Amino acid sequence: MTNLTGLSRIFQGRVPCVPETQDDHSWIGRRIARLRRERGWTLAALGDKVGLSSTQLSRIESGTRQASVGTLIEIARAFGVSLSELVADEERASPFQVFRLAERKPRNTANGILTPLSGRYPGLEAVHLTILASAEAPTAQHVGEEWLYVLTGMVQVAIGATTLTLEPGDAVHFPSHAPHSLRGIDNQPAEVLLITTRAN
């Protein structure tokens, strides 16, 4: 099995690959709207659960604003579904999920291009995130823990009042209730593996 050191060697020196996203940039917004209406929630009711205003949620649902990864995690938890179930266009009934490279469905977010790598089990969320040079660096804050591993490029991670610069092969693990943000460096794309849990 390839360990993290081997993984780092594989990706070392590789130019970040920007995956092609689905053309329908408002798909996630419509999915959020459908799940909200199925529960009989107003925009204000969902907003109270995730810390967003009705206006912000309305823009996300209409596709005029891309939600950050942190916001998507909070919305998924409010609905009681996994991040994969929220952003993917199919539900998996199997007791396990395999994510083939050729079958991935990348989605646009405010942080960059997100590709789910975990299934419907709610305890852990794993994603591949391509941070574009033009991506925002919105601050996130949610219950649980977060682990980030840099595959390609360089990233800047702010956790509370501390700012870290990470290179390929570097990783950081922190409580995600602390305000945190992530951005690329020197206007270059970067790729990271991001894992979050619900643990306190």
Residue 82: pLDDT band (50, 70, 90) is: confident
Q: Alpha carbon of 101 to those of 84, 115, 116, 150, 162: distances in Å?
A: 15, 10, 11, 19, 35
- In the block, tokens 């209730």 appear at 177
Model confidence at 19: pLDDT above 70: no
Backbone angles phi, psi at 199, to 5 degrees: -60, 145
For 144, residues 6+ apart whose C-beta sits below 8 A from its C-beta are: 175, 176, 177, 196, 197, 198, 199, 200
pLDDT at residue number 190: 95
The alpha carbon of 92 is separated from its chain's Cα centroid by a whole number of angstroms, namely 19
**Do the Cβ atoms of 67 and 57 come closer than 8 Å?**
no
pLDDT at residue number 2: 46
What CATH number labels 4-197? 2.60.120.10
Stated as kind and residue range, the H or E segment containing 5 is helix 4-11
pLDDT at residue number 160: 94
Residue 5: pLDDT band (50, 70, 90) is: low
Model confidence at 105: pLDDT above 50: yes
Average pLDDT of the residues in 104-132: 88
pLDDT digits (tens, 9 = 90+) for 133-148: 878 888 988 889 999 9
Residue 91: pLDDT band (50, 70, 90) is: low
pLDDT at residue number 10: 43
Q: Alpha carbon of 34 to those of 37, 40, 46: distances in Å?
A: 5, 10, 12
Distance CA 41, CA 93 (A): 26
